[in-house]
Amino acid sequence: MPLTRILVADDEESMRWVLSKALKRKGFEVDLAPDGRQALELIKDNCYDLAILDIKMPGINGLDLLDKVRELKSDLLVVIMTAEASMKNAVEAMKRGAYDYITKPFDLDVIDAIIEKVARARDIRGQVTNLKQELKDRYQVEKNIVGNSPAMQEVYKTIGKVAGSDVTVLIQGESGTGKELVARAIHFNSGRLGKPFIAINCAAIPRDLLEGELFGSEKGAFTGASDRKLGKFEQASQGTLFLDEIGDMPLELQAKILRVLQEQEVTRIGGNQNIAVDVRVVAATNQALIEKVRRKEFREDLYYRLNVVPITLVPLRERRADIPELAHYFLSRTCAEMSVPARQLNDTAMLLLTEHSWPGNVRELENAIKRAVILSNDPLLTELDFAGLASSTVQSQTVSQEASLESLIDTKLRSCMNGVEKLDKGEIYSVVLEQVERPLIRFILEKTRWNQVRTADILGINRNTLRKKISELGIDMKRD
């Protein structure tokens, strides 16, 4: 990042004037201070890329001011000036954290050289900072992807195979399954580590703004565009761009995305220059894109361009073996983040978590754990701390049972209807109804110990109707 703003502090007006004129001529914004106290106030209130401080100033001298700068703005680079070229001053300045030290009088070429050194140092600092953050994020991402089920093992294998190349990856899975974590894992294990990872949710941005977010815009391109704006493709230069929920991208924008993937260049809104971009694209969706292609809601050519390597994340309900590990992980992390004593889950609570259907997947599990930790003061979390899950689990099991019964009846009907063409007109309804009514009535009779009054009441019919059906259906009333 280039230097833009410099502070010069010196009690000699002529020195301030010379340095200000020379630096402004090179395009820098320059602030001046005649003493240490004013310089300190300016440093407190503004952001500078470089401070050039005289060692002897009224109020606060340069070395004491340097100490205060280290406390207030540790990333601000400071150059000390002095008219006394003594070893003591030089050593003291460097010991206190000065970036460099120059003696008066000096040629302006010396200042030019200092500026270049400072610019290089800032670039290196920025790269190191970015790399540290990337490594920290990478560590967190790899810890966050939890699970040893066969489905997750396949995901890990695929990440390992594709990370080293620049192929486009399409991650598919329900909401909350961790698609962005997988995208980050691909980036942090690739040769683009240390470069930007930029994520954009295509469903969260209005369609009339999405193009500008992706490709950027020139000054004056539309009302309110007072400055040039870099789009996500340019921001992700040499790194990875994660296009989340790409299934919601408008068709007209899909064509432009396809062109970027093919040509590796973008054109800002309001511009006519093609700008080369070196970006790896990872896309994700919670929708069945191939179905959207069939319905002409998603471009077929873009689908195949994105789907070079597919990764499918199965819902949590299909990898229940991972739930205990995930629950313990989220419990430990939540307690650490909230600075509360460690909590444990009793067996009943863990059983409840394992049996829940988790329509919101891993994200829902994480939120359930957080909610329980926040609301409970007990070191042992029980099923009562997940009461909301219990009712929804029972409901989902009921729905599942109903669906299973319907499915069973459907399957049985299909197997029994092979000879349906042999039936006379109008017979199929009575045949099927008879097959359902006979076991139903017999089952209720058995449950009521063959009490016809109670059976009729449970079935919602009167006793005479029940007697008639028992006779018509040939139900044997003999009790074994």
CB atoms within 10 A of CB 232: 22
Residue 437: its pLDDT value, please? 84
Residue 167: its pLDDT value, please? 94
Residue 42: its pLDDT value, please? 93
- The more confident residue out of 170 and 130 is 170
Read off the pLDDT band of 402 (50, 70, 90). very low
* pLDDT tens digits, 50-91: 999 998 898 888 889 999 998 888 888 899 888 776 667 777
Cα–Cα distance for residue pair 463/176, rounded to 1 Å:
53
Percent above pLDDT 70 for the chain: 86
Instruction: Indicate if the pLDDT at residue 480 is higher than 50.
Output: no
Residue 200: its pLDDT value, please? 95
Cα–Cα distance for residue pair 55/89, rounded to 1 Å:
9
Element (H, E) at 101: strand 100-103
Residue 404: its pLDDT value, please? 47
Average pLDDT over residues 188-210: 89
Residue 128: its pLDDT value, please? 65
Average pLDDT over residues 265-273: 90
Instruction: Indicate if the pLDDT at residue 222 is higher than 80.
Output: no
Residue 108: its pLDDT value, please? 83
Average pLDDT over residues 140-155: 81
CB within 8 Å of 142: residues ≥ 6 apart = 185, 188
Domains and CATH numbers, the chain: 5-123 (3.40.50.2300), 145-314 (3.40.50.300), 317-393 (1.10.8.60), 424-480 (1.10.10.60)
Instruction: Give the closest residue to 14 by CA, choosing from 29, 27, 32.
Output: 32
At 280, list the tokens.
């790896």
Average pLDDT over residues 301-324: 94
Residue 271 — left, alpha, or beta (φ > 0 → left; ψ -120 to 50 → alpha)? beta
The rounded radius of gyration (Å) of the Cα atoms in the chain is: 36
Residue 120: its pLDDT value, please? 78
Highest mean pLDDT (candidates 105-114, 280-289, 377-386, 439-448): 280-289
Cα–Cα distance for residue pair 322/154, rounded to 1 Å:
14
> Lowest-confidence range among 11-15, 133-137, 244-248?
133-137
Read off the pLDDT band of 469 (50, 70, 90). confident
The overall average pLDDT reported for the chain is 84
Residue 410: its pLDDT value, please? 56
Q: What angle do CA 114, 116, 121 make, to 5 degrees?
A: 95
Residue 398: its pLDDT value, please? 47
**Burial (CB count within 10 angstroms: exposed 0-12, middle 13-18, buried 19+), residue 230:** middle
Residue 281: its pLDDT value, please? 96
Q: Which residues pair with 78 in a beta bridge?
A: 51
Read off the pLDDT band of 421 (50, 70, 90). low
- The more confident residue out of 425 and 56 is 56
Please tell me the total number of residues recorded for the chain in this structure.
480
Residue 403: its pLDDT value, please? 45
Residue 25: its pLDDT value, please? 86
Using alpha carbons, list the distances in angstroms from residue 459 to 441, 464, 465, 472, 474.
8, 13, 11, 17, 18
Instruction: Indicate if the pLDDT at residue 478 is higher than 90.
Output: no
Residue 479: its pLDDT value, please? 56
DSSP letter for each residue of 330-362: HHHHHHHHHT----EE-HHHHHHHHHS--TTHH
Highest mean pLDDT (candidates 9-13, 93-97, 204-208): 9-13
Percent above pLDDT 90 for the chain: 46
Cα–Cα distance for residue pair 82/80, rounded to 1 Å:
7
